[in-house]
Structure 1
């Protein structure tokens, strides 16, 4: 009977643990290898709940500006010291004309302010903000500064309509879009791609989705687009297209499986990873689908530009005029009518933009609901450059992913908050930190959590984390930080591409070898157990890419029974053959490791008569508990639990 009570008590306690633990399942593809806690983050709470936040970080400064409801905060990236607040509902923060340019909804009367940060925040000038900031924070908007010019997309009407991308202020002429070029757009991102050797041909790329003009039932309701305009575009002549883009072209951006005609059409976020040679600049686009999946597709700016320069114009059947519509010219006001008429009436390209980097399928498809993407580059100890994708989920977690050819390896998952969704995210690449904004607080996430892989060389190598390598000092960062720069740390053991721990064997000697052979986390225990009672053992899951097995007496083995972050082995009723040595073993790639060891010994006398100090077992969530105390309470706990469980199952 006592065994029955223990079994029922175990059932309910395991159910409780399962309800309070959210972890991936072992053996599935596309899951994080490690689940990291929040001790690699620094939290900055807000004084009031924020319905909307926006980040801005100047390229040459280690400061971050955060705009929210009724505040502007200046945050030191290193110390997280905060200055502020400033009263307004902030939607736009940009560096403009050597000052901080801030725009907000201002009680549905958009307004902009030029701020100077000295000992205190000082407003130098104020401007009318229509077309830069939306009227309410839920309306779509974006902004970008390019060489002293401010580009913005925001509604021109209170109801959120008449939304277009414009050059709104600066040294060049203000220009805007022809109203028939887009249909109910939602702008997602805009980026200026520099051409150091050819600045006159530099372009601004706009990524957005718009309503499909095809209303047939089989047509997708939304289409993802990329458009481009020339930086030198000053609009047309006084007679035609004055103050209107003369170089605007758009094309459909396709992400999916072309052979199956299966596409992700809802663009969520875009990150442009700039390169020294503009042709190598990459666009990482995050899409969702109608079947609740997300995908990441990667495009080359060179491919995007090539399509704009070679594709036919949709619906246009005449000869292509010279200069070709969309060409960057230093005097756009002198463009002929034939060129401008094609831009006006046929700005869409006939061909679609596919990914030439991953032409057959997206880089990554997942059932996780990702909402934002940021990409960092890091030089590893093997002297190769690797791209790291930082993907935000709708449950407040960050997935840190390694891009390897056509594979995306999820290095880790970090839970930042489970109270609200991530509102904003920005990368401080030189400092190797990710800044994440929620409604309640802001987090600074360290991208180099090498101490998490410090138990052995094998664990450091298996992490596949380019930021970390095994050295004489353990698992350490490959990026050396200083006050003014970040430098690459040569040396150290890694095996990013193959993930083989055999690289440790030849390299480790002396004390490092002994450290490798005896993991610091080894947990061995002798436990006294009576015949006939239920008993279970558990060990911690460190890697969700490993295979865990329980080995009894060195020969018979049982698979892991996963419960959250633990692997269990349940013995429903102790028999004579149940006693002996049990080892929880993990195997990942070429590395096998002893995680936990139990020695079960038969107890011939009453359990309660033994000293409690000799009776140790593990509670059902992995923390040690006193077995005698557990059994002594069975008389008054298990009876009520048993009856409740029995009635619940009827």
Structure 2
């Protein structure tokens, strides 16, 4: 199927109709499953945190040689954090001997760290630093050395350009060759993909502004000659129509075996670079997302099955996640016609990976140089659409069958999202910072089920297998649909082969055969002068609020008086973490037991119960006084299993 450009030059009325259509689609797509079921703060979950010194506006994270070790790049410092201790160690980047004494006058000390990668040696790092004179130095470093030193790279050198710290990069080292790939965004100079090492290659000036988001290796193929590199980026739209999108999302390919062209044409230039447009949206509702924000890939058992999770935004202030496979992208580059091409395609086909690209026919090189864009687009329908602004995306494969996304929010929160058959379920919103923060970087360690989130001040470790917060009953645990969690017969804990869970449906009936007893607890608030057996005494004609804590936003909450089947709905609160009931005027009819009941997917239980009594000894309280439970009063809290 060839996806063509949407019709342009729409009237204002037509544009408004499109907006209404997009709004309708958003309302349809953003049903309750796109609202976090629970919100968990540092009061609910114990987050490990390490303070970071300095003013860090850009941070990169890298897993260390041991699970508890994480490397963090600041501007001129490399931090090594150990979550078994409380303080990170600081290692100044050594691009010259002068930095070892932290001499600020030394020119070698003015290199900002812009690249940090692992090598095949688990104890060795590959770093690059760039100074203000557009010079870049790369070196190898063993953080365990004392004193440590950075050994200049012999194979990757003479990088006479500034590498921006936000540019994506890849380091590929082997016994035969070491190669370093990075990108150059902007509209000036050699914008595109660059390779440093034995075979230096770059891109000719494009003439259009491009901003690169991610570099992805296709994975090792059966024929290593066919290994490819994919670049995801946005390009300034050349269509200047008023209703045109400002940016166009694209993906480009290059062959890793590319040697460039002969001396007469495309020497030191890519001969295999092709590009095509990415489409994320719903064609029927005319809902499109064109602002590519972030990309995360998950390797498949076969290279074709590697999945690319792309985070988009659009001009209406909405975010979306679209999923592509390397097989989808590969097929377009191998089969689509070239945009604007009306004649036959050359043989070999432009963009094919060959053993010696310097020997390619001239007509192939010219076609790659002049018309390397595909006519067909790589398309995907969003699995998640929301009005929230996401900034980063990471994905984990849990138990070999469940896909879980982690999306950072503008306020420093993280959405934990289950993806199942193209549908999304927002398990929880995690709030690791006790202040409004901008998430600078996220890193996932799948083997330990730990997520690392960095702000300018802190690095926080989130234990994804921390499950107690979902509730004290099996049903609470199962309804969470969290692949990391299961019920072990006593509590909600890290999932194993023996724990109870139903990630696919969240069917709490799987808990029906568990034997358990009824437990009730009484909570007394300090400062009360009333005994629990006497209940809560309320003066005649007074107003009174009853409070009920809520956890799941997917449950319905109501109040029942004396067990009446007719339920009274909650009074909504701004924080949405309380279900309130207002007693307008206390009298004999208002006495008795009040129960707060929640119901979610057929699971009903009583959360709290109050026993209200009329205090006939006190009268005349003004009706506008609204005493709250807990402010010098007694709350009788009864935790039950089911109504």
Q: Same fold, TM exceeding 0.5?
A: yes
Q: For the residues of structure 2 that align with 1:239 and 1:344, how far apart are their CA atoms?
A: 13
User: What are the Cα deviations for residues 394-423 of structure 1, in whole angstroms up to 9, with x where unaligned?
Assistant: 110001010111321111111123333111
Structure 1 residue 221: deviation in Å? 1.6
CA, structure 1 residues 498+29, in 2 after alignment: closer, same or farther (shift >3 Å)?
Answer: closer
Structure 1 residue 153: deviation in Å? 1.4
Larger RCO (CA under 8 A, 6+ residues apart): 1
Output aligned runs, 1:504-583, within 5 Å. 504-506=511-513, 508-509=514-515, 513-514=516-517, 517-518=518-519, 526-555=535-564, 556-563=566-573, 564=575, 565-583=577-595
Secondary structure at the counterpart of residue 191 of structure 2: strand
Q: For the residues of structure 1 that align with 2:83 and 2:317, how far apart are their CA atoms?
A: 36
User: What are the Cα deviations for residues 502-537 of structure 1, in whole angstroms up to 9, with x where unaligned?
Assistant: 11112x12xxx22xx447799996211011111000
CA, structure 1 residues 374+607, in 2 after alignment: closer, same or farther (shift >3 Å)?
Answer: farther
Structure 1 residue 62: deviation in Å? 5.9
Contact 2:317 2:387 in 1 (8 A): yes
Equivalent residue number for residue 181 of structure 2: 151
Equivalent residue number for residue 385 of structure 1: 401
Q: For the residues of structure 1 that align with 2:239 and 2:554, how far apart are their CA atoms?
A: 45
Output aligned runs, 1:350-499, within 5 Å. 350-355=375-380, 361-379=381-399, 385-417=401-433, 418-478=435-495, 489-499=496-506
Q: For the residues of structure 1 that align with 2:171 and 2:440, how far apart are their CA atoms?
A: 22
Q: For the residues of structure 2 that align with 1:107 and 1:246, how far apart are their CA atoms?
A: 32
Equivalent residue number for residue 47 of structure 1: 53
Contact 1:235 1:242 in 2 (8 A): yes
Structure 1 residue 60: deviation in Å? 8.5
User: What are the Cα deviations for residues 299-319 of structure 1, in whole angstroms up to 9, with x where unaligned?
Assistant: 111011101111110122221
Q: For the residues of structure 2 that align with 1:209 and 1:371, how far apart are their CA atoms?
A: 15
| Total equivalences in the alignment | 560
Q: For the residues of structure 2 that align with 1:474 and 1:229, how far apart are their CA atoms?
A: 51
CA, structure 1 residues 204+80, in 2 after alignment: closer, same or farther (shift >3 Å)?
Answer: farther
Secondary structure at the counterpart of residue 631 of structure 2: strand
Contact 1:132 1:152 in 2 (8 A): no
Equivalent residue number for residue 186 of structure 1: 211
Within the candidate set 30, 36, 48, 2:34 is matched to: 30
Secondary structure at the counterpart of residue 403 of structure 1: strand
RMSD: 2.7
- Residue 602 in 1 paired to residue 611 in 2? no
Secondary structure at the counterpart of residue 510 of structure 2: helix
Structure 1 residue 97: deviation in Å? 7.8
Equivalent residue number for residue 203 of structure 2: 177
Q: For the residues of structure 2 that align with 1:585 and 1:373, how far apart are their CA atoms?
A: 36
Q: For the residues of structure 1 that align with 2:485 and 2:67, how far apart are their CA atoms?
A: 25
User: What are the Cα deviations for residues 157-194 of structure 1, in whole angstroms up to 9, with x where unaligned?
Assistant: xx983253344323x401011223x6211100001121
User: What are the Cα deviations for residues 576-597 of structure 1, in whole angstroms up to 9, with x where unaligned?
Assistant: 2111110000001121111010
Equivalent residue number for residue 106 of structure 2: none
Gaps of 5+ in 2: 1-29, 94-110, 526-531, 635-643
Contact 1:33 1:543 in 2 (8 A): yes
Q: For the residues of structure 1 that align with 2:312 and 2:463, how far apart are their CA atoms?
A: 26
Structure 1 residue 497: deviation in Å? 1.5
Secondary structure at the counterpart of residue 354 of structure 1: strand
CA, structure 1 residues 598+436, in 2 after alignment: closer, same or farther (shift >3 Å)?
Answer: same
CA, structure 1 residues 174+584, in 2 after alignment: closer, same or farther (shift >3 Å)?
Answer: same
CA, structure 1 residues 166+289, in 2 after alignment: closer, same or farther (shift >3 Å)?
Answer: closer
Secondary structure at the counterpart of residue 177 of structure 1: coil
TM-score by length of 1: 0.81
Structure 1 residue 125: deviation in Å? 2.4
Contact 2:312 2:321 in 1 (8 A): yes
Q: For the residues of structure 2 that align with 1:132 and 1:306, how far apart are their CA atoms?
A: 35
Contact 1:132 1:143 in 2 (8 A): no
Within the candidate set 492, 503, 507, 2:510 is matched to: 503
Q: For the residues of structure 1 that align with 2:580 and 2:223, how far apart are their CA atoms?
A: 63
CA, structure 1 residues 209+279, in 2 after alignment: closer, same or farther (shift >3 Å)?
Answer: same
Equivalent residue number for residue 114 of structure 2: 91
Q: For the residues of structure 2 that align with 1:419 and 1:84, how far apart are their CA atoms?
A: 26
Q: For the residues of structure 2 that align with 1:593 and 1:521, how far apart are their CA atoms?
A: 17
Q: For the residues of structure 2 that align with 1:627 and 1:521, how far apart are their CA atoms?
A: 13
More helix by share: 1
Secondary structure at the counterpart of residue 592 of structure 1: strand
Contact 1:142 1:187 in 2 (8 A): yes
